[in-house]
Amino acid sequence: MASTSEPAGASEDSGASGTSGASVISGASDASGISGASGTAEPAAPVLEVRDLAKHYPLTRGVLVKRRTGAVRAVDTVSFALGRGETLGIVGESGCGKSTVARLLVSLERPTAGTIHYRGEDITRLSGRALRAVRRNIQMVFQDPYTSLNPRMTVGDIIGEPFEIHPEAAPKGDRRRAVQELLEVVGLSPEHINRYPHQFSGGQRQRIGIARGVALRPEVIVADEPVSALDVSVRAQVVNLLESLRDEFGLSYVFIAHDLSVVRHISDRIAVMYLGRITETGTGPEIYGHPTHPYTQALLSAVPVPDPEPREGRERILLTGDVPSPANPPSGCRFRTRCWKARERCAVETPTLTVPPDLPGPAAHPSACHFAEERVVVPAPS
Partner 1 sequence: MTRLLDVQDLRVEFRTRDGIAEAVGGVSYGVDAGRTLAVLGESGSGKSVTAQAIMGILDSPPGRVTGGRVLFRGRDLLTMSARERRRIRGAAMAMIFQDALSALNPVLPVGAQLAEMYQVHRGMSGKDARRRAVELMDRVRIPAAGQRAGDYPHQFSGGMRQRIMIAMAMALEPDLIIADEPTTALDVTVQAQVMDLLAELRREYAMGLVLITHDLGVVADVADTIAVMYAGRIVETAPVRDLYRRPAHPYTRGLLDSVPRVNDRGARRNDRGARRNDPGEPAGRGDRARRNRRGHHGGRLYAIKGAPPSPLALPSGCPFHPRCPRAQEICRGERPPLYEVTAAAASPASGGRTSACHFWKDELDGLDV
**Minimum distance of partner 1 from residue 332's CB (angstroms):** 21
Exposed e or buried b for every residue in 251-268, given b needs 16+ CB within 10 A?
bbbbbbbbebebbbbbbb
Out of 178, 303, 327, 347, point to the residue binding partner 1 (CB under 8 A). Answer: 303
Site membership for partner 1, residue 319 (CB under 8 A):
yes
**Which residues 56-115 are close enough to bind partner 1 by CB under 8 A?**
93-94
- 284 is an interface residue for partner 1 by CB under 8 A: yes
- Which of left, alpha, beta for 257 (phi over 0: left; psi -120 to 50: alpha)? beta
Report 187-246 residues binding partner 1 (CB under 8 A).
201-204, 231-237, 239-240, 243-244
User: Could you give the CA distance from residue 379 to residue 382 in angstroms, rounded to a whole number?
Assistant: 8
Q: How far is CA 343 from the centre of its chain?
A: 31
Which 239-258 positions form the footprint of partner 1 (CB under 8 A)?
239-240, 243-244, 258
By CB under 8 A, is residue 299 in contact with partner 1? yes
Contact between 128 and partner 1 per CB under 8 A:
no
Per CB under 8 A, 305 contacts partner 1: yes
Binding of partner 1 by 306 (CB under 8 A): yes
Instruction: From 43-51, 73-81, 281-289, 355-363, give the range in contact with partner 1 by CB under 8 A.
Output: 281-289
Q: Count the Cβ atoms, other than its own, within 10 Å of residue 29.
A: 8
The residue among 4 and 382 lying less far from partner 1, judged by its C-beta, is 382
**144 lies in the binding site for partner 1 (CB under 8 A):** no
Phi, psi of 68 (to 5 degrees): -85, 125
Name the residue among 301, 273, 275 with its Cα closest to residue 288. Answer: 301
| Residue 294 binds partner 1, judged by CB under 8 A | no
Q: How many residues bind partner 1 (CB under 8 A)?
A: 55
Runs of H (alpha helix) within the chain: 2-5, 10-26, 28-33, 36-39, 98-105, 128-137, 155-165, 175-185, 202-214, 232-249, 260-266, 284, 294-302, 344-348
The Cα-based distances of 353 to 37, 80, 138, 251 in angstroms read: 28, 10, 26, 27
**Binding positions for partner 1, rule: CB under 8 A:** 30, 32-35, 93-94, 201-204, 231-237, 239-240, 243-244, 258, 260-262, 264-265, 284-285, 288, 298-300, 302-311, 316, 318-319, 321-323, 378-382
